[in-house]
Amino acid sequence: MSSAIIEINQLYTQFGSLIIHEALNLTIQKGEIIALIGGSGTGKTTLLREIILLEKPKSGSIRVFGQEILELSETQAIWLRQRCGVMFQHGALFSSLTVAENIAVPLKEHTDLSQRMIDEIVAYKIAIVGLPPYAGVNHPSQLSGGMVKRAALARALALDPEILFLDEPTAGLDPIGAGALDELILQLKKLLGLTIVMVTHDLDSLWKVTDRIAVLADKKVIAAKPIHELVNINHPWLQAYFHGARGRAAQESTWTAK
C-alpha cells in the first residue's frame, strides 16, 4: 500500500435525535479495494455519500487527496467530483436517455470536449465494462439487470476517476452475473489503478475482491482488516455474519476455488 487517499476522523452524523456515527475513524489507502459492511442502520451508504458530499455530517473531518472537503463550497467541490466516480445501487441511469447519452452526461457537464471526442470516449467506456457496442443506442429499460449495472459503471468511469465508489454493485444479480461483475471490478482496478470503496452485503464479493473490509457497528468502524482476519474477531455481529450458513458457504466456496 502507498499513502492514504481518504482520511476520516471523529465523524459524527445525526439525523434528528438519531445518532448514526459517533467518533468514527477510517483511513483508506490508495490502490486498495475496501468494502463497508455492517447491519441495517449502521450508516454504510450514508458514509459513502458523505465522502462524495451528497450528505454532510454534523461534525468531524474528511480529507480526500489530502484536502479537507467538508469546508468546500459547491463550486469548490467540483474538482472532487471530477476525480471520483460513483455507481449507485440501482444504476440511477436517466431513463429518457440512451446508454451512450447517459455515459456522456459527465463529459458534457465537466469538459469542453467536442462531440466527436465524447463519442469516442463513450464507445471506449462501453467496451471497457464488457458491454456490446450496440448497447449504446439502447435505453436502460431495454437492458438486463447486469447490463444496467455495467452501463452505470461505464458512466462512473467517464471522467477517468482515481476513486470509484460502488453502492451494492452486485445486488439483484444472479450468481453468474454477480461473479462476472466481481471479475470486472478486479480487472478495472488492475487496468486503471483505481482505489475502490464499495458497500456490499455480498459475501462472495467480500471474499473475492476486497483487500480490506471496514466493519460499521456501535456507531463506529470497529475493525478495518482483511477478511481472513475479520472472521476470527469475537464480536456478536461479525460472528453471526461470517459464521452463519451463508457465511460458511461463501468461505468454503472461496477455498474450493483456490
- Burial label, 144 (beta-carbon count in 10 A; 0-12, 13-18, 19+): exposed
What pLDDT is recorded for position 255?
47
> Beta strand pairing status for 18-29 and 4-15?
antiparallel
Closest CA to 219 of 82, 9, 21, 55: 21
Positions in the chain short of pLDDT 70? 1-2, 244-258
> What's the pTM value of the predicted model, to 2 decimals?
0.90
13 near 59, Cβ under 8 Å?
no
User: Tell me: the pLDDT tens digits for 168-206?
Assistant: 999 888 899 999 999 999 999 999 999 999 999 899 999
213 near 37, Cβ under 8 Å?
yes
DSSP designation for 200: -
- Which amino acid type is present at position 198? M
Q: How crowded is residue 11: how many other Cβ atoms within 10 Å of its Cβ?
A: 26
What pLDDT is recorded for position 224?
95
Query: E strands along the chain, which residues?
Result: 4-15, 18-29, 33-38, 59-64, 67-68, 84-87, 163-167, 195-199, 212-217, 220-225
User: Tell me: the pLDDT tens digits for 197-218?
Assistant: 999 989 999 999 999 999 999 9
Q: Which CATH superfamily is domain 4-257 in?
A: P-loop containing nucleotide triphosphate hydrolases (3.40.50.300)
Residues 6+ apart with CB under 8 A from 219: 19, 20, 21, 22, 23, 24, 42, 43
Query: E strands along 39-137, which residues?
Result: 59-64, 67-68, 84-87
> Beta strand pairing status for 4-15 and 163-167?
unpaired
What pLDDT is recorded for position 253?
53
- Which amino acid type is present at position 220? K
What pLDDT is recorded for position 78?
86
- Which amino acid type is present at position 162? E
Measure the CA–CA gap between 154 and 245, rounded to whole angstroms. Answer: 35
Mapped onto helix, strand or coil, the DSSP state of residue 222 is strand
27 near 58, Cβ under 8 Å?
no
Rama region for 175: left / alpha / beta (φ>0; ψ in -120 to 50; rest): alpha
